[in-house]
């Protein structure tokens, strides 16, 4: 009887032990099942909206089968420049079935320096290959410091500058191999579903670059516009639906990061056969949608054709600008060689083969020389330009057309009233006649007393004169004005 009792007791102990082991294994499996990850291999769609304020809006869809209940999900392969406060996640199959309880962003990424720092005060192994004995040697050491290079304690000795490799037992849990969003989720939908993460990221930007090629008479030009996208966000966007937003989007600067309140290259660049972007109004901005998927790699600059227009009418102007200081003192020195600006103007109209909102950017202007070779003649930046508005491009200063001015009279009539007279000369050393617009910024309330040439009062403080200057000639104009200020 005692023997049977002993055998029964042993059997019970064995069964209990096996059950305990089974429970431990099951618990371990259960714990592992609670820690899910999804990476770019699960990505089924990605949409990217880029703002020209160094900001991008990412919508990343992943296919996943999630367990019921509460668990952690690691959403890997997000942008390293992500703005964590902007993140939203939802289930596209059942929005009410998925709820976020907690969220964190694992940005402490694995790299040699961070790995060393995490092992300060801990044991590592130092591996070397002995070139004399041709044997591998491994010693255990304690990493004391990494400031200026690793310092080790081996037995009772301190050393640094170890020539071999450092072997670490494991990667610390606090280091992530990739930028990862980690959510504590509560889920009630167990069938396969798509989940979408939406977030903002810094360090992705776009700009417009334009090439304007003038004809021989400077009265028509071919225009090509390019979108240049610069991706430094720390993520790859494969076959993305791409949208570009043009406009002055306001952003709020925080102490540590930028947040937001809203979720070509050269004249020889090839021209596109047809526009690749569809343009439409969006809020108080304009949005341009690429009509095909595109891949943007990290640390990549990419150009896409935005607009092309041939035989656009343009007008070249020579403009001689005055300055307000000429009118506020009786002691103004004569200026004998003042620069005259060269400006090219075009109308953003449909009848000119344009008529679409043009994002701000740089316009680079080219023209063929006498040998038919294209040469760069100037560039200027333009602001966002709606349809039917003018675009004025300052090319530089004229070489062979110069101006001069002198004050010929100055009178103080009362405490706030003055009279002044000026002589302006324009000299043309070119082989053809030129037309120069003289722009005089007259201050205060003013009245033209006399003028040798017709003028227009274009606004309250501006008078414009048009001078036709024959080749190799000089033209002088005079005027006198009464001012009260």
Query: Same topology for domains 35-109+176-201 and 401-484, yes or no?
Result: yes
Position 148 scores a pLDDT of 85
Do 289 and 243 meet the contact criterion of CB atoms below 8 Å apart?
A: yes
**pLDDT less than 50: residues of the chain:** 1-2, 5-6, 8-33, 255-273
DSSP state of 281: E
Distance separating alpha carbons of residues 256 and 267, to the nearest angstrom:
41
Distance separating alpha carbons of residues 104 and 184, to the nearest angstrom:
9
SS3 category, 11: helix
Question: Of 106, 89, 45, 44, nearest to 187 (Cα)?
Answer: 89
Question: Of 200, 186, 213, 23, nearest to 97 (Cα)?
Answer: 186
Report the b/e string of 370-399 with b at 16+ CB within 10 A. Answer: eeeeeeebbbbebebbeeeeebebebeebe
Position 128 scores a pLDDT of 85
Q: How many CA atoms lie within 13 A of 158 on its CB side?
A: 4
SS3 category, 403: strand
Distance separating alpha carbons of residues 201 and 80, to the nearest angstrom:
8
Residue ranges per structural domain of the chain: 1-33, 35-109+176-201, 112-167, 203-397, 401-484
Q: Does domain 401-484 have CATH number 3.20.20.10?
A: no
Neighbours of 141 (CB within 10 A): 21
Position 273 scores a pLDDT of 44
Distance separating alpha carbons of residues 31 and 38, to the nearest angstrom:
17
Position 2 scores a pLDDT of 47
Position 175 scores a pLDDT of 65
Position 251 scores a pLDDT of 74
Distance separating alpha carbons of residues 96 and 99, to the nearest angstrom:
7
Position 161 scores a pLDDT of 86
SS3 category, 451: strand
Question: Of 112, 58, 15, nearest to 298 (Cα)?
Answer: 58
Position 256 scores a pLDDT of 42
Neighbours of 296 (CB within 10 A): 22
Gyration radius from the chain CA atoms = 36
Distance separating alpha carbons of residues 205 and 46, to the nearest angstrom:
17
Distance separating alpha carbons of residues 281 and 357, to the nearest angstrom:
9
Distance separating alpha carbons of residues 144 and 120, to the nearest angstrom:
6
DSSP state of 371: T
Distance separating alpha carbons of residues 312 and 348, to the nearest angstrom:
9
Question: Of 181, 186, 220, nearest to 79 (Cα)?
Answer: 181
Distance separating alpha carbons of residues 46 and 55, to the nearest angstrom:
16
Position 107 scores a pLDDT of 62
Provide the CATH number for the domain formed by 112-167 in this structure. Answer: 2.30.30
For 35-109+176-201, CATH number out of 1.10.3470, 2.60.40, 3.30.70, 1.20.120 equals 2.60.40
The DSSP bridge pattern shows strands 401-412 and 193-202 to be unpaired
Distance separating alpha carbons of residues 70 and 108, to the nearest angstrom:
25
Distance separating alpha carbons of residues 208 and 165, to the nearest angstrom:
49
pTM over 0.85: no
Position 322 scores a pLDDT of 83
Neighbours of 78 (CB within 10 A): 25
């Amino acid at each position: 009887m005692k023997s049977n009792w002993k055998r029964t007791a042993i059997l019970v102990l064995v069964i209990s032990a096996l059950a305990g082991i089974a429970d431990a294994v099951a618990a371990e499996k259960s714990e592992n099942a609670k820690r899910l990850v999804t990476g770019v291999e699960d990505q089924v769609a990605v949409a990217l909206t880029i703002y020209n304020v160094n900001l991008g809006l990412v919508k990343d869809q992943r296919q996943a089968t999630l367990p019921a209940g509460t668990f952690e999900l690691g959403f890997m392969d997000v942008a390293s420049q992500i703005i964590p406060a902007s993140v939203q996640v939802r289930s596209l199959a059942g929005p009410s079935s998925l709820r976020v309880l907690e969220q964190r962003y694992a940005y402490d990424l694995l790299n040699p320096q961070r790995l060393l720092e995490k092992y300060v005060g801990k044991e590592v192994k130092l591996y070397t290959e002995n070139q004399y004995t041709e044997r591998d040697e491994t010693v255990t050491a304690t990493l004391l410091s990494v400031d200026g290079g690793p310092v080790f304690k081996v037995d009772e000795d301190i050393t640094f500058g170890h020539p071999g490799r450092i072997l670490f037992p494991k990667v610390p849990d606090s280091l992530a191999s990739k930028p990862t969003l980690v959510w504590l989720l509560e889920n009630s939908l167990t069938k396969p579903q798509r989940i979408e993460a939406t977030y903002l990221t810094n360090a992705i930007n776009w700009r417009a670059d334009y090439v304007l090629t003038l004809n021989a008479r400077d009265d028509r030009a071919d225009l090509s516009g390019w979108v240049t996208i610069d991706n430094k966000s720390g993520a790859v966007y494969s076959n993305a639906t791409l949208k570009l937003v043009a406009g002055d989007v306001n952003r709020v600067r925080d102490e540590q990061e930028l947040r937001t309140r809203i979720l070509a290259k050269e004249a020889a660049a090839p021209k596109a056969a047809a526009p690749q972007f569809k343009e439409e109004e969006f809020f108080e901005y304009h949005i341009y949608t690429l009509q095909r998927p595109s891949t943007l790699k990290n640390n990549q600059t990419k150009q896409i054709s935005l607009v092309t227009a041939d035989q656009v009418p343009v007008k070249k102007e020579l403009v001689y600008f005055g300055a307000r200081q000429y009118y506020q003192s009786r002691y103004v020195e004569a200026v004998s060689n003042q620069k005259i600006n060269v400006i090219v103007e075009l109308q953003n109209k449909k009848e000119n083969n344009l008529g679409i909102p043009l994002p701000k950017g740089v316009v680079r202007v080219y023209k063929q020389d006498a040998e038919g070779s294209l040469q760069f003649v100037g560039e200027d930046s333009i602001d966002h330009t709606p349809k039917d508005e003018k675009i004025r491009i300052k090319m530089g200063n004229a070489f062979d057309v110069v101006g001069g001015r002198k004050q010929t009279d100055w009178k103080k009539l009362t405490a706030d009233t003055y009279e002044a007279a000026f002589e302006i000369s324009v000299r043309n050393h070119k082989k053809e006649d030129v037309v120069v617009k003289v722009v005089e910024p007259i201050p205060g309330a003013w009245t033209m007393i006399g003028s040798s040439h017709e003028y227009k009062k274009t606004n309250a403080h501006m008078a414009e004169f048009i001078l036709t200057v024959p080749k190799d000639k000089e033209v002088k104009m005079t005027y006198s004005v009464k001012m009260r200020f």
